[in-house]
């Protein structure tokens, strides 16, 4: 159980106004991995050089990782499935992976604003969003702060209230140390970022954000009109009661509780077991939700 706690704490682990400066998108070229082809790109976003990858074609689906993570450590198993039918835009947020740090504390509100600016740079007016863990909380903020760019949102193990996790979780956060970070997440970071000094920065910013986590007000959650799919694992650290309360507060929402732990339903890197089976991932359920026509 303690291993799950530490993983969760670090995967849970960016408000400045949008700059009117001229934005620039820098294309790094076409890359391939495990037979997938994607565009590897940086974009000037509110003082960041934000890294993102684009796979496939079709309606845009934005993937938002959790704390302490990279695109690959969260979504490597599901991207090949989503990109068959979608234009997948996977981002790395402030201080994570290949995106630089802007030397200010992280906030979910700023993360939401950064993603909104990125989509503006890409001339994408509306998209679906799938956020996991911290990324789920960011997806909530996108729906609250930028409702016009949201078609549908999928909240994977998202936290909106401090009581959405057991009380001991917050004690773990107050004592978080880099040496306790799962080795899989450290390795994933080092694989994509030559300057490993940023690993400590990412860890410390993520931990501080969670220690200072404040509830999202009920009225803001209830203001969300976008169709929403809420997902947690039955062995998640997010409590079923919290997921149910989110479901009740978001009028146009559905709730799914899936067998497994935090992120197991998407093949998050720390959950992979020798008997991993692709068919156990929730991609078909998410696609069914995203493709369903609203009445």
Of 4, 19, 2, residue with least CA distance to 238: 4
Q: What percent of the chain has pLDDT over 70?
A: 88
Is the predicted pLDDT of residue 13 greater than 50, yes or no? no
Parallel, antiparallel, or unpaired: how do β-strands 253-258 and 228-233 relate?
parallel
Q: What's the mean pLDDT when you consider all of the chain?
A: 90
pLDDT in tens, 133-176: 999 999 999 999 999 999 999 999 999 999 999 999 999 999 99
Task: In whole angstroms, give the CA distance from residue 35 to residue 80.
Answer: 9
Domain boundaries, the chain: 2-291
Residue in this structure with the two tokens 């950064």, named with its chain if needed: 114
Q: Among 3.30.70.20, 3.40.640.10, 3.40.50.1820, 3.40.50.150, name the CATH number for the domain at 2-291.
A: 3.40.50.1820
Q: Which residues pair with 38 in a beta bridge?
A: 31
Q: What percent of the chain has pLDDT over 90?
A: 84
Kindly indicate the confidence band of residue 17, based on its pLDDT and cuts at 50, 70 and 90: very low
| CA dihedral for 203, 209, 212, 218, sign (positive or negative) | negative
User: With contact defined as beta carbons under 8 Å apart, do 223 and 150 qualify?
Assistant: no
Whole-model pTM: value is 0.90
């Amino acid at each position: 159980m303690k291993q799950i706690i530490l993983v969760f704490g670090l995967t849970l682990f960016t408000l400045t106004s949008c700059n009117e400066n001229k934005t620039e998108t820098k294309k790094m070229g076409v890359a391939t991995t495990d037979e997938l082809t994607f565009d590897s790109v940086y974009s000037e976003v509110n003082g960041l050089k934000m890294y993102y990858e684009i796979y496939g074609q079709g309606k845009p689906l934005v993937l938002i990782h959790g704390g302490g993570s990279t695109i690959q450590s969260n979504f490597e198993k599901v991207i090949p499935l989503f990109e068959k039918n979608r234009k997948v835009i996977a981002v790395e947020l402030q201080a994570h992976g290949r995106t630089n740090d802007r030397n200010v504390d992280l906030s979910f509100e700023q993360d939401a604003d950064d993603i909104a600016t990125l989509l503006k740079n890409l001339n994408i007016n509306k998209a679906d969003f799938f956020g996991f863990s911290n990324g789920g909380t960011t997806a909530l903020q996108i729906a609250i702060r930028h409702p016009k760019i949201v078609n549908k949102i999928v909240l994977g193990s998202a936290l909106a209230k401090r009581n959405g996790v057991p009380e001991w979780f917050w004690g773990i956060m107050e004592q978080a140390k880099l040496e306790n970070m799962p080795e899989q997440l450290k390795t994933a970071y080092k694989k994509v970022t030559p300057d490993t000094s940023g690993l400590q920065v990412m860890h410390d910013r993520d931990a501080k954000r969670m220690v200072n986590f404040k509830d999202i007000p009920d009225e803001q959650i209830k203001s969300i009109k976008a169709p929403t799919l809420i997902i947690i694992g039955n062995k998640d650290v997010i409590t079923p009661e919290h997921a149910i309360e989110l479901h009740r507060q978001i009028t146009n929402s559905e709730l799914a509780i899936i067998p497994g732990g935090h992120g197991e339903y998407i093949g998050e890197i720390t959950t992979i077991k020798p008997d991993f089976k692709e068919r156990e991932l929730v991609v078909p359920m998410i696609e069914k939700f995203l493709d369903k026509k609203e009445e």
